[in-house]
């Protein structure tokens, strides 16, 4: 079925339009039900696409402008297995976000589900398209929907400021990216990824090509929230409604890393030396992991804490890409599945807490949520999974990342990131739901966002958590556990990653719709004894971090470099833009060095 | 091909970003974002421009093999303008809300999100 990739993009857009029209007439439950139905159909379509893509890539030429031997004018959607799997993830999380939103928003009619569906359409298009300019257009489609979703609660001062920061920084990133696309088009006269690869095949280290790649990568990495482009993410995640955060954190940020990886393997493997791309991605990945983890450990605002852990994990995805090998890509992909599920569940539980207690401050919530035992158990479970518990998807991805890096230092760093981010979330869970440890001080520091006076997205009465919310959380956690069991994601991910890292294969699939001549040998993907040991080690370390955090009487004001780092996150648009330019220059320099 | 329009485009981009960095008013910030975007129009049109070429519409006065400017970049510019209008409208709407909720539009006085 060749029309399926196009349908995956068109269906949610049509659904959003229908919702906006019918939203004025239909009662609230009917609007929510219809939105959920549209999302369910989208999940069905994407799963069908994945099944088809497993047999062979599904390629759609818009308007049936099929390629001719020496000339192509059409625009293509290429659903290889990797892209199709990503689209399934997008659709699944969209359905979960809508399910959770069922009882969550009270005063929003059809706008919320319509925006979520538009957002999903943009992300699906970005994942599937084989055309550079279309990537930009879908990037902007998802961005605009995302800005609106961030500022959804227009009554809340933090929410609108977060939306504005997000909008300005991402727009600037997108324009740098478009500038790069323009330069590339001026140089080659092509926009299709496969066609570009054909023109660039004979050229090495042309200055304009390096600059163009750097500018486009900047655009995608702003979305991925890689340091020093990450500032907007914490602001946006802290203020966006919880179900929206599931999509932001679970797929939108990782899509940026996917964009860079796709672009490199489909187009630039010859034109840019692999050592330069390796250096660029490795430096940024390590920087991101360190900054994300340190900032995560300093937070008491629950959603900001989760946001910084997403930044750290974004660095882990980039670390997998930096190996420039199918093994690294497979590791990142599996880690992404685990991250999306666990982080999604945590954001939803933070949303449930906000609905019950109108606060997201770890210190003020101390011991207050003792009544919600089930939620507490789930929260602590999710924190342990986040740390990379053995036989979970996060654990498997983390173990594979450590093995694919072939470096003890990087392995230790990955364990430290997992243990740090997981441990802090575990500490917060034990404090909030079980009242463990000493009571933390609740004094406010002008230099930080505490989340003490958050406005709830809903007026659900405090009491039982609605069944739809719990179902959404349970589904995500179940996915995180089952996906990590031996044999579930193993061989398929390996061969999909092998095909992803095969430039000749991509050109063959996109332009000639025949399988590549020699599919490269897929990497081994699965649990090993060492992997299990490392997973157990990082879980233990996370528990240790949590216990140490609980034992400390009150947090001394961070001193020295940590305080400096804290102050860099100023919430000021001008600072963020300056960092954007600095980062772009850094990125270009790293690519340019011989 | 001359280098001049490319330099102009690069200059406008940097001027726009500089404006965002130094901005003291959020409406000014949003306008500077649009300025940064307008650099891409200059760039795209410069790429497609050819001396002595006409619009890419073929007819009796303009037979199919006569020189025309590149229609692809023109289509891209149009798309870009649509994107720009959407983004600018949305950002301005957010600025209005910031003014309502914070009572200020000076970036230095917005303190809701830190650390």
Q: What are the C-alpha distances in Å from A468 to residues A19, A91, A300, A322, A458?
A: 21, 18, 27, 39, 14
* Chain B residues with beta carbon closer than 8 angstroms to that of A143: 87
Which structure tokens are listed for A385? 């999974």
pLDDT in tens, A116-135: 999 999 999 999 999 999 99
Residue A446 burial (10 A CB sphere; 0-12, 13-18, 19+): exposed
Radius of gyration of chain B (CA): 19
User: Nearest-CA distance from B35 to chain A in Å?
Assistant: 10
Helices (H) and strands (E) in chain A, counts: 23, 2
Q: Is the pLDDT of residue B53 over 90?
A: no
* Chain B residues with beta carbon closer than 8 angstroms to that of A164: 26, 91, 94-95, 98
* Chain B residues with beta carbon closer than 8 angstroms to that of A156: 101
User: Nearest-CA distance from A571 to chain B in Å?
Assistant: 5
Cα angle A222, A227, A233 (rounded to 5 degrees) comes to 55
Hey, is A389 helix, strand or coil?
A: coil
pLDDT in tens, A493-540: 888 898 898 888 888 878 875 555 566 677 778 888 888 999 999 999
Helix axes A28-55, A4-22, angle to 10 degrees: 180
pLDDT number for residue A358? 85
Q: From the centroid of its chain, how far is CA B62?
A: 31
pLDDT number for residue A485? 86
How far is A291 from A268, CA to CA, in rounded Å?
Answer: 29
Contact predicate A358/A460, CB 8 Å:
no
Hey, is A77 helix, strand or coil?
A: strand
Contact predicate B6/B46, CB 8 Å:
yes
Which structure tokens are listed for A393? 């998807």
Q: How high is the mean pLDDT of chain B?
A: 90
The partner residue sitting opposite A167, judged by closest CB among B44, B72, B91, is B91
Find residue A60's DSSP bridge partners.
A77
Which structure tokens are listed for A6? 């196009």
User: Nearest-CA distance from B64 to chain A in Å?
Assistant: 17
- Are residues B115 and A165, on separate chains, in Cβ contact within 8 Å? no
pLDDT number for residue A143? 93
pLDDT number for residue A106? 64
Which structure tokens are listed for B35? 């300025």
pLDDT in tens, A236-272: 988 898 889 999 999 999 999 999 999 999 999 988 9
Quick one: which of A223, A219, A228 has its CA closest to A291? Answer: A228
pLDDT number for residue A578? 95
pLDDT in tens, B87-114: 999 999 999 999 998 888 888 888 777 7
Give yes or no for B39 touching A (CB within 8 A): yes
Residue for token digits 């959607």? A77
User: Nearest-CA distance from B61 to chain A in Å?
Assistant: 25
Q: What are the C-alpha distances in Å from A285 to residues A170, A214, A219, A227, A313?
A: 19, 15, 16, 8, 9
Quick one: which of A378, A388, A390, A380 has its CA closest to A418? Answer: A388
* Chain A residues with beta carbon closer than 8 angstroms to that of B113: 158, 161-162, 165, 234-235, 238-239, 449, 571
Quick one: which of A561, A565, A594, A559 has its CA closest to A228? Answer: A565
Long-range contacts of A367-371 (CB under 8 A, 24+ apart): A367/A431, A367/A432, A367/A434, A367/A435, A367/A439, A368/A432, A369/A432, A369/A433, A370/A433, A370/A434, A370/A435
What band does B61 get if pLDDT is binned at 50, 70 and 90? confident
Beta strands A76-79 and A58-61, pairing class: antiparallel
* Chain A residues with beta carbon closer than 8 angstroms to that of B16: 175
B39, B70, B91, B94: best mutation site toward chain A, by most A Cβ within 10 Å? Answer: B94
The partner residue sitting opposite A144, judged by closest CB among B40, B90, B112, is B90
Which residue blocks in A406-502 are alpha helix, DSSP H?
Answer: 408-434, 467-482, 490-500
Find residue B62's DSSP bridge partners.
B59
Dihedrals phi, psi of B90, to nearest 5 degrees: -65, -45
pLDDT in tens, A264-273: 999 999 889 9
Which structure tokens are listed for A301? 């605002």
Residue A513 burial (10 A CB sphere; 0-12, 13-18, 19+): middle
pLDDT number for residue A456? 64
B69, B74, B91, B115: best mutation site toward chain A, by most A Cβ within 10 Å? Answer: B115
Q: What is the full per-residue pLDDT of chain A (594 aa) written as tens digits?
A: 578 999 999 999 999 999 999 888 888 888 889 999 999 999 999 999 999 998 888 888 888 888 877 777 788 899 989 999 999 999 999 999 998 887 677 666 678 899 999 999 999 999 999 999 999 999 999 999 999 999 888 788 888 899 999 999 999 999 999 999 999 999 998 898 988 988 888 877 788 999 999 999 999 999 999 989 999 999 898 889 888 999 999 999 999 999 999 999 999 998 899 999 999 999 999 999 999 999 999 888 999 999 999 999 999 999 999 999 999 999 999 999 999 999 999 999 998 898 888 888 888 888 888 888 899 999 999 999 999 998 899 999 999 998 888 889 999 999 999 999 999 999 999 999 988 888 887 777 666 677 766 666 665 555 677 888 888 899 999 999 998 888 788 778 888 898 898 888 888 878 875 555 566 677 778 888 888 999 999 999 999 999 998 887 555 566 778 888 888 888 889 999 999 999 999 999 999 987
B/e letters for A571-589, b = 16+ CB within 10 Å, e = fewer, are bbbbebbbbbbebbebbbe
Whether residue A594 is preceded by a cis peptide bond, meaning omega within 30 degrees of 0, is no
Q: From the centroid of its chain, how far is CA A190?
A: 29
Residue of A nearest to B30 (CA): A168
* Chain B residues with beta carbon closer than 8 angstroms to that of A147: 87, 90-91, 94
Which residues, including other chains, have CB under 8 Å from residue A493's CB and lie 6 or more apart?
A330, A333, A334, A525
Which structure tokens are listed for A11? 């269906």
Find residue A131's DSSP bridge partners.
A192
Q: What are the C-alpha distances in Å from A516 to residues A129, A195, A259, A316, A523?
A: 19, 16, 22, 30, 18
How far is A166 from A163, CA to CA, in rounded Å?
Answer: 5
The partner residue sitting opposite A172, judged by closest CB among B20, B83, B112, is B20
Proportion of chain B above pLDDT 70, given as a percent: 98
Q: What are the C-alpha distances in Å from A379 to residues A212, A348, A434?
A: 44, 10, 11
Which structure tokens are listed for A478? 């179940």
Neighbouring CB atoms inside 10 A of A279's CB total 15
Quick one: which of A97, A105, A145 has its CA closest to A123? Answer: A145
Quick one: which of A384, A398, A490, A476 has its CA closest to A429? Answer: A384
- Are residues B40 and A581, on separate chains, in Cβ contact within 8 Å? no
Cα angle A555, A560, A565 (rounded to 5 degrees) comes to 85
The partner residue sitting opposite A160, judged by closest CB among B33, B80, B94, is B94
pLDDT number for residue A293? 94
pTM: 0.93
> E strands within A307-347?
none
Q: Is the pLDDT of residue B9 over 60?
A: yes
End-to-end, the C-alpha distance of chain B in Å comes to 48
């Amino acid at each position: 079925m060749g029309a399926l990739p196009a349908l995956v993009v068109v269906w949610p857009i049509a659904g959003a339009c229908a919702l906006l029209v019918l939203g004025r007439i239909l009662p609230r439950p009917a609007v929510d039900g219809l939105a959920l139905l549209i999302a369910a159909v989208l999940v069905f379509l994407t799963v069908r696409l994945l099944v088809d893509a497993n047999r062979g890539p599904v390629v759609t030429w818009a308007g049936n402008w099929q390629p001719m031997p020496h000339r192509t004018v059409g625009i293509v959607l290429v659903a290889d297995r990797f892209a199709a799997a990503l689209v399934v993830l997008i659709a699944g999380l969209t359905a979960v976000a809508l399910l959770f939103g069922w009882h969550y928003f009270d005063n929003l009619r059809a706008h919320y589900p319509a925006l979520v569906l538009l957002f999903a359409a943009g992300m699906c298009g970005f994942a599937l398209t084989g055309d550079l300019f279309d990537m930009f257009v879908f990037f902007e489609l998802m961005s605009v929907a995302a800005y609106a979703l961030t500022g959804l609660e227009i009554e809340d001062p933090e929410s609108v400021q977060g939306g504005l920061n997000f909008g300005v920084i991402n727009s600037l990133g997108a324009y740098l990216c478009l500038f790069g696309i323009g330069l590339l088009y001026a140089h080659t006269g092509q926009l299709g990824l496969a066609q570009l690869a054909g023109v660039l095949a004979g050229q090495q280290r042309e200055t304009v090509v390096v600059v163009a790649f750097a500018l486009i990568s900047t655009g995608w990495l702003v979305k991925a929230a890689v340091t020093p482009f990450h500032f907007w993410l914490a602001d946006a995640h802290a203020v966006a409604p919880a179900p929206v955060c599931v999509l932001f954190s679970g797929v939108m940020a990782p899509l940026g890393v996917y964009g860079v990886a796709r672009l490199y393997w489909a187009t630039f493997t010859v034109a840019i030396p692999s050592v330069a791309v390796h250096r660029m991605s490795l430096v940024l990945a390590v920087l991101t992991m360190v900054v994300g983890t340190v900032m995560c450990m300093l937070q008491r605002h629950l959603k900001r804490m989760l946001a910084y852990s997403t930044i750290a994990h974004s660095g882990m995805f980039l670390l997998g890409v930096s190996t420039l090998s199918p093994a690294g890509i497979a590791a990142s992909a599996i880690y992404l599945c685990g991250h999306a599920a666990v982080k999604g569940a945590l954001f939803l539980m933070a949303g449930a807490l906000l609905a019950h207690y109108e606060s997201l401050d770890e210190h003020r919530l101390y011991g207050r949520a003792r009544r919600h035992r089930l939620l507490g158990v789930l929260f602590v479970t999710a924190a342990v999974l986040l740390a990379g518990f053995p036989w979970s998807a996060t654990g498997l991805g983390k173990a594979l990342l450590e093995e694919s890096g072939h470096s003890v230092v990087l392995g230790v760093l990955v364990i430290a990131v997992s243990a740090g981010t997981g441990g802090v979330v575990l500490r917060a869970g034990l404090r909030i739901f079980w009242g463990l440890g000493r009571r933390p001080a609740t004094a406010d520091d002008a230099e930080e966002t505490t989340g003490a006076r958050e406005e709830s997205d809903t007026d659900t009465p405090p009491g039982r958590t609605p069944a739809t919310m719990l179902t959404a959380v349970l589904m995500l956690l179940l996915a995180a556990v089952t996906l990590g069991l031996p044999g579930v994601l193993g061989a398929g991910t390996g061969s999909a990653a092998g095909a992803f890292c095969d430039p000749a294969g991509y050109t063959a699939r996109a332009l000639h719709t025949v399988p590549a001549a020699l599919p490269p040998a897929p990497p081994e993907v699965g649990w090993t004894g060492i992997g299990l040991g490392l997973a157990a080690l990082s879980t233990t370390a996370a528990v240790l971090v949590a216990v140490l955090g609980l034992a400390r009487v009150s947090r001394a004001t961070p001193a020295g470099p940590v305080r400096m780092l804290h102050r860099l996150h100023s919430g000021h648009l001008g600072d963020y833009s300056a960092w954007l330019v600095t980062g772009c220059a850094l990125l270009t320099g790293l690519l340019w060095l011989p | 091909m001359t280098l001049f329009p490319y330099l102009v485009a690069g200059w406008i981009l940097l001027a726009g970003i500089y404006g965002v960095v130094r901005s003291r008013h959020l409406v000014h910030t949003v306008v500077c974002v649009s300025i940064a975007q307008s650099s891409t129009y200059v760039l795209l049109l410069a790429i497609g421009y050819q001396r002595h070429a006409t619009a890419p519409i073929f007819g009796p006065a303009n037979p199919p093999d006569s020189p025309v400017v590149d229609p692809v970049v023109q289509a891209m510019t149009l798309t870009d303008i649509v994107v720009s209008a959407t983004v600018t409208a949305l950002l301005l709407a957010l600025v209005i809300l910031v003014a309502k909720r914070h009572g200020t539009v000076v970036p230095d006085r917005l303190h809701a999100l830190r650390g």
